[in-house]
Structure 1
Amino acid sequence: MEAYENLQFQPITEEDIAVLTEIMTRAFDLDTQQFLGQAKGGPTGYDTGEFIRKWALESPTQSYKVLLDKKVIGAVIVWINENNENYLGNLFVDPLLENRGIGLAIWRYIEQKYPNTKKWLTDTPGYSKRNHHFYVNKCGFKIVKIVNPMNREDEMYVLEKEM
């Protein structure tokens, strides 16, 4: 187990899928409710465990569950590439713990864990205004492209951070 600030990080295992899916479902559904007015919504498999199984366990990623006081509170999944242009695939925190600096602490852990990174890339839904604020104003990413602009449900912001 690795620690950073008051958080602990451990690789995601099959046994973590249920609790991480519960947290991920709450996080994505809250965003969808708040910004689209719909009860549910997220990437394919976000609420069944298939998203975490596919991207954290069956893909060439580095994936970590995040613990606070020995309790799982979120996760982060990254792709670390040979060219040192790495990709943040997913970062989520239990909505019950939002606005406490936990997401930023997770991101700082990732940055210090992979110091050879030249550039970080990620994307986030256009409707998720809290994500835009987090990535741009807190983490230092820049929006470099908008895919499907003006399409409320399918708009996607592509972000980069030069290191």
Structure 2
Amino acid sequence: MEIYKQLAFEPVTVKDIDDLTRIMKRAFDEDTRRHLGKEQGGPPGYDNGDFIRDWYINAKSDAYKVFLHGTLIGAVNIFCWKDNERFLGNIFIDPSYQDKGLGFLVWQFIENKYPNTRKWQTETPGFSTKNHHFYINKCGFEFAKIEKFEGEAHFTITLEKNIIISMQ
């Protein structure tokens, strides 16, 4: 277990799939309600365990579940690429714990855990303006590109954060 301020982080295991899927479903459904006016929605497998299984367990990612005072509140996964470039797969926090600065604490933990990162990249749905605010205004990312999916009304925004490493 790793501790950062009031949060604790542990690697995600197969035993966590059901609990994390319930939290992920609440988080993505809340985002969909807020921005699209629909009752539910998220990436494929977000509601049946496949997303956690595929991207947190089976993928070559560093995946952590997040606890606040012993309560599981979410998770984060990171993909490490060549040349100290990393991809933030996603951060999700249970809606009842959002808007309290906890997502930003998760991000600070990640940046501290990977201090040699030259460039961070992530993607988020184009409709999710709350995510845009979080990544750009809180975490320091910038817009890199917008990708519209053919035949679909939604689009994805790619964000990047370049780190300047001083030579001393």
Normalised TM-score (structure 1): 0.96
Query: In the TM superposition, what are the counterparts of 1:56-75 in structure 2 within 5 Å?
Result: 56-75=56-75
Q: 2:26 & 2:153 partners in 1: Cα distance?
A: 19
Answer yes or no: is 1:4 the counterpart of 2:4. Answer: yes
| Residues 1-50 of structure 1, C-alpha deviations (whole Å, 9 max, x = no match) | 00001000000011111111011000000111111111111000000010
Q: 1:145 & 1:6 partners in 2: Cα distance?
A: 34
Contact 1:127/1:153 (8 A) holds in 2: no
Deviation at 1:154, TM superposition (A): 2.1
- Unaligned 5+ residue runs, structure 1? none
Query: In the TM superposition, what are the counterparts of 1:93-112 in structure 2 within 5 Å?
Result: 93-112=93-112
Q: 1:153 & 1:96 partners in 2: Cα distance?
A: 29
* Aligned residue number for residue 21 of structure 1: 21
Deviation at 1:152, TM superposition (A): 7.8
* Aligned residue number for residue 115 of structure 1: 115
Secondary structure in 2 matching 1:47: coil
How big is the alpha-carbon RMSD for the aligned residues of Structure 1 and Structure 2? 1.3
- Unaligned 5+ residue runs, structure 2? 164-168
Secondary structure in 1 matching 2:44: coil
* Aligned residue number for residue 80 of structure 1: 80
* Aligned residue number for residue 125 of structure 2: 125
Answer yes or no: is 1:143 the counterpart of 2:146. Answer: no
| Residues 53-87 of structure 1, C-alpha deviations (whole Å, 9 max, x = no match) | 11111010000000011111000000012311100
Deviation at 1:153, TM superposition (A): 4.1
Normalised TM-score (structure 2): 0.93
Identity over aligned pairs, percent: 49
| Residues 96-145 of structure 1, C-alpha deviations (whole Å, 9 max, x = no match) | 01111100000000000001100000010000010000000000000111
Aligned pair count reads 162
2:84 counterpart letter in structure 1:
N
